[in-house]
Structure 1
């Protein structure tokens, strides 16, 4: 996938996660029903073990990618001090095929299956170039936290 600089969206506008738990770098494409994200795996990542981005990291990357679809409604105004909390309520299916190495940039593609208010079911696949790394179906819940 060719990334055009002018089309990249800062993930901080759509997720509450910050380092060391932020497992996506950029949103490459975002609609109400699908999202594509990129993530460069660095050596100091908490989910790197022996030079590989482990299963828990791939799952967290998938969940954060999926959360961008649901989270965008809470972060429509990037200047607002919005605070949200989200949970994986269910992982219906997960298949892990390969673990990427440090220095790799992975691309995750998620699409909305169903949504009811702040609960949704999303299908996600993550790739390293043309190699499928993980396929998952995740249910998420997200809500705004009031002070």
Structure 2
């Protein structure tokens, strides 16, 4: 697939809580997004994009995957919840103006639970990585 510019159609999050800009790549096993950090981002402190923003960026990359699949099947975009974050490693905090490239890989998916590995790169260097368990709420009214 080619880049999907209007990522807002793929994720349930709304501004100011959107931590992805563009869906760069999608296949069944791997998804890649881009995100440019703006100074007014709620997770920016003293010019640095803090750890909760990094975790949310990975989660929203997973949400973009689920949304892309839903949209391709003419289904509504559902809300997902972070069930667990494991082995979070933060090697560096990116700064305002930096562009993050985030890749998630699907480790396992059973019913409404998806286990992923996420990795965020900035300027060619890995800045954070973790494993995450995500639950998808199949009740679109919640």
Q: CA RMSD in A?
A: 1.8
1:65-144 → structure 2 map (5 Å cutoff): 65-76=61-72, 82=76, 84-144=78-138
Aligned mates of 1:94, 1:121 — CA distance in 2: 14
- Give TM-score, length-normalised by structure 1: 0.87
Aligned mates of 2:38, 2:140 — CA distance in 1: 34
Q: Which residue of 2 aligns with 1:58?
A: 54
Q: Which residue of 2 aligns with 1:8?
A: 3
Consecutive aligned runs of 4 or more in structure 1 exceeding 6 Å deviation = none
Offset at 1:97?
A: 0.6
Aligned mates of 1:144, 1:75 — CA distance in 2: 15
Structure 2: gaps of 5 or more residues: none
Aligned length: 140
Offset at 1:66?
A: 2.0
Tell me if the contact between 1:70 and 1:118 (Cα under 8 Å) persists in the aligned partners: no
Structure 1: gaps of 5 or more residues: 1-5
1:145 is aligned to 2:139: yes
